Amino acid sequence: MADKFVFEKAMKRLEEIVSLLEKGDATLESSLMLFEEGTSLIRGCSAALDNAQQKLKILTVGENGPEESDFEGKE
Amino acid sequence: MSTQRPLTVTEISGYIKTLLDKDEILSQVAVAGELSNYKIHSTGHHYFTLKDDGAVISAVMFRAEAGRLKFRPESGMKVILYGRVSSFPRSGQYQIYVSHMQPDGVGALYVAFEQLKAKLQAEGLFAKSHKKPLPPFPGRVALVTSPTGAAVRDMIRILGRRFPACEVLVCPVKVQGEGAAEEIAAMIRYVDAHKLADVIITGRGGGSIEDLWAFNEEIVARAIYECELPVISAVGHEPDITISDYVADVRAATPSNAAELAVYDAAELKTRLRNAYSRIYQSEARIIGEKGQRLAEIKRKRILSEPEAYLTDRRMYLELLRQKMEAAEAKRLSLLRERFAAVAATMDAISPLKVIKRGYSIAESGGRIIRSTDEVAAGDRVDVRLTDGRLLCVVENKVKEG
């Protein structure tokens, strides 16, 4: 679930940065830092979208808890 | 008059019961009528009467049969009873022993559906305030559905096309037939307990009302209601609405629709990312532009363009102030001096010494100034004061004038 963590957080932070910059009251230094951060988040999110390969699992209710294996039902 | 011995009540009642029990028609009847006096005994047996305009018949439905009812019978309801007619000698009554009951007119399932819906609604299971928002970017979606069939394939395909970064966990359950509702409910609880995903989609493809029935069962409704993870219900086709749809956080018209609701479309997201970029780029450009302009404005001010001149100005001003201050002080001193000179002049003018200086002298006798010849006689000693000393004289003679 690491992917989700990064993506969701990144999108949230990105929205924050957009509104901070649009408010326009940041100092030059901090606005430049926000801009840098924003562009790197955008790069990260775009890469996540472009490179993702759907992971497909099937759940088995095992004796020692949930077990997952690759799901072959996809065609 | 028969001479036979009279029968006992038990005997005649037993005979009647035998007659009724061996009758083929009475052993398997279906009777339509209206329920009245409906009572559920503490033993779990149901006692009631069935009536129409012309007659009334008692009926009993024992606990085992009553437990299989898909709806809750009530007085006034039109029903069809299935069972046999027999008598109960202890009460002297004949009655229908009901093995099965279904609502007349509308389908039994429909009634069951409406009743459960009303009950759960009253309990607040459909409350908007209880509904949870879906996570905007689920890392994982759990599909509580049949692992075979079109529904699961459609969902996997659409999830993969829209947002491949989201993992899919197929949680296989039976979606119809005996025990399906229990399996679905248990799986929802299991996925929730282990937090195996960020959102759950439960549902199945289209089918008859009986096929979809598991999603109208109370046990599934409660599992969805109590689930901490958000649940999307996706049962059948657009017009099919199940109890699950009402309880779920989000109702999808179809399984495919559920997949669309669960994740953003990556293409749409990329557009959003591009927009975000152009927005922060423009904002940053504007900020830089504004700061540049302010810098230019400040630069135009003299202190920065000609710092030396500015300092000179300041110095000159300071000098001016100093001069003003000195002038004021000098004026004050000269006034004082003038006043002092005037006082001194007056003092000088009235000084007796000054008179002497002009050639006059002062004559004194016995320490007193002599103002008249009458004040001395010939032979007296007088002192004559001059500027630089005294003359000690003796009067020789007096000449009075005037």
In a domain, B228, yes or no: yes
Interchain contact B12–A (C-beta under 8 A): no
Among B21-25, B100-104, B150-154, B164-168, the least confident range: B100-104
| B137 shares a domain with B62 | no
pLDDT > 70: percent of chain B:
95
pLDDT band at residue A3 using 50, 70 and 90 as cut-offs: very low
| Closest to B252 measured CA to CA, from B213, B205, B188, B186 | B205
Mean pLDDT in residue range B193-213: 91
In a domain, B85, yes or no: yes
Name chain B contacts of A15, Cβ cutoff 8 Å: 276
Name chain A contacts of B279, Cβ cutoff 8 Å: 18, 21-22
Residue A75 has pLDDT above 60, yes or no: no
Q: Nearest-CA distance from A48 to chain B in Å?
A: 7
Among A11-15, A37-41, A49-53, the least confident range: A49-53
User: For chain B, what is the HEC assignment?
Assistant: CCCCCCCCHHHHHHHHHHHHHHCCCCCCEEEEEEEEEEEECCCCCEEEEEECCCCEEEEEECHHHHCCCCCCCCCCCEEEEEEEEEEECCCCEEEEEEEEEEECCCCHHHHHHHHHHHHHHHHCCCCHHHCCCCCCCCCEEEEEECCCCHHHHHHHHHHHHHCCCCEEEEEECCCCCCCHHHHHHHHHHHHHHCCCCCEEEEEECCCCCCCCHHHHCHHHHHHHHHCCCCEEEEECCCCCCCHHHHHCCEEECCHHHHHHHHCCCHHHHHHHHHHHHHHHHHHHHHHHHHHHHHHHHHHHCHHHHCHHHHHHHHHHHHHHHHHHHHHHHHHHHHHHHHHHHHHHHHHHHCCHHHHHHCCCCEEEECCEECCCHHHCCCCCEEEEEECCEEEEEECCCCCCCC
| B213 shares a domain with B125 | yes
* Number of folded domains that form chain B: 4
- Give the pLDDT confidence of B287-312 residue by residue, as tens digits: 888 888 887 887 777 666 677 777 78
Residue A51 has pLDDT above 80, yes or no: no
Give the model's pLDDT for residue B87: 92
| B59 shares a domain with B90 | yes
| B304 shares a domain with B366 | no
Tokens of B45: 């047996």
Test the B interface: residue of A16, A21, A56, A59 with most B CBs within 10 Å: A59
Interchain contact B262–A (C-beta under 8 A): no
Mean pLDDT in residue range B352-369: 78
Among B58-67, B114-123, B286-295, B354-363, the least confident range: B354-363
Picking from A24, A56, A73, the nearest residue to B283 by CB comes out as A24
Give the model's pLDDT for residue B335: 85
| Closest to B243 measured CA to CA, from B272, B222, B274, B265 | B222
pLDDT band at residue A6 using 50, 70 and 90 as cut-offs: low
| B247 shares a domain with B126 | yes
In a domain, B385, yes or no: yes
Higher-pLDDT residue of B62 and B304 is: B62
Q: What is the CATH number of the domain that holds B146?
A: 3.40.50.261
Name chain B contacts of A25, Cβ cutoff 8 Å: none
Give the model's pLDDT for residue B117: 92
Mean pLDDT in residue range A51-72: 86
Higher-pLDDT residue of A35 and B197 is: B197
Q: Nearest-CA distance from A33 to chain B in Å?
A: 10
Which residue of chain B comes nearest to A23, CA vs CA? Answer: B283
Picking from B142, B191, B277, the nearest residue to A39 by CB comes out as B277
Test the A interface: residue of B168, B283, B291, B298 with most A CBs within 10 Å: B283
pLDDT band at residue B195 using 50, 70 and 90 as cut-offs: very high
Higher-pLDDT residue of B348 and B362 is: B362
Give the model's pLDDT for residue A2: 45
Name chain A contacts of B156, Cβ cutoff 8 Å: 54, 56, 71, 73-74
Interchain contact A46–B (C-beta under 8 A): yes
Give the model's pLDDT for residue A74: 47
ipTM score assigned to the predicted complex: 0.76
| B117 shares a domain with B258 | yes
- Please indicate whether, in this complex, the C-beta atoms of B279 and A21 are within 8 angstroms of each other: yes
Give the model's pLDDT for residue B1: 54
- Give the pLDDT confidence of B70-93 residue by residue, as tens digits: 788 888 888 889 999 999 988 888
| B203 shares a domain with B158 | yes
| Closest to B28 measured CA to CA, from B92, B107, B96 | B96
> Mean of the per-residue pLDDT values for chain B?
88
Residue A32 has pLDDT above 80, yes or no: yes
Residue B334 has pLDDT above 90, yes or no: no
Q: Nearest-CA distance from A50 to chain B in Å?
A: 9
- Give the pLDDT confidence of B215-241 residue by residue, as tens digits: 999 999 999 999 999 999 999 887 778
Interchain contact B160–A (C-beta under 8 A): yes
Last residue of a domain, one of B88, B105, B122: B105
Give the model's pLDDT for residue B370: 87
| B145 shares a domain with B252 | yes
Give the model's pLDDT for residue B8: 92
- Please indicate whether, in this complex, the C-beta atoms of A54 and B159 are within 8 angstroms of each other: yes
User: Phi and psi of B372, rounded to 5°?
Assistant: -145, 150
Give the model's pLDDT for residue A55: 87
Mean pLDDT in residue range B94-118: 84
Mean pLDDT in residue range B354-367: 78
Which residue of chain B comes nearest to A53, CA vs CA? Answer: B164
Query: Using CA atoms, how far apart are residues B201 and B236, in angstroms rounded to an integer?
Result: 13
- Please indicate whether, in this complex, the C-beta atoms of A73 and B198 are within 8 angstroms of each other: no
Q: How many CA atoms lie within 13 A of B305 on its CB side?
A: 8
- Please indicate whether, in this complex, the C-beta atoms of A24 and B287 are within 8 angstroms of each other: yes
Q: Nearest-CA distance from B239 to chain A in Å?
A: 28
SS3 A60: strand
Residue B147 has pLDDT above 60, yes or no: yes
Last residue of a domain, one of B56, B82, B105: B105
| B246 shares a domain with B147 | yes
Give the model's pLDDT for residue B108: 66
In a domain, B336, yes or no: no
Give the model's pLDDT for residue B344: 75
In a domain, B329, yes or no: no
| B300 shares a domain with B249 | no
pLDDT band at residue B284 using 50, 70 and 90 as cut-offs: confident
In a domain, B334, yes or no: no
Interchain contact A6–B (C-beta under 8 A): no
Q: What is the CATH number of the domain that holds B86?
A: 2.40.50.140
Residue B341 has pLDDT above 90, yes or no: no
pLDDT > 90: percent of chain B:
45
| B301 shares a domain with B288 | yes
| B270 shares a domain with B248 | no
Interchain contact B134–A (C-beta under 8 A): no
Interchain contact B164–A (C-beta under 8 A): yes
Residue B43 has pLDDT above 60, yes or no: yes
Residue A4 has pLDDT above 60, yes or no: no
Name chain B contacts of A11, Cβ cutoff 8 Å: 136-137
- CB-based burial label for B383 (10 Å; 0-12, 13-18, 19+): middle
**Domain region containing B315:** 266-324
Interchain contact A72–B (C-beta under 8 A): no
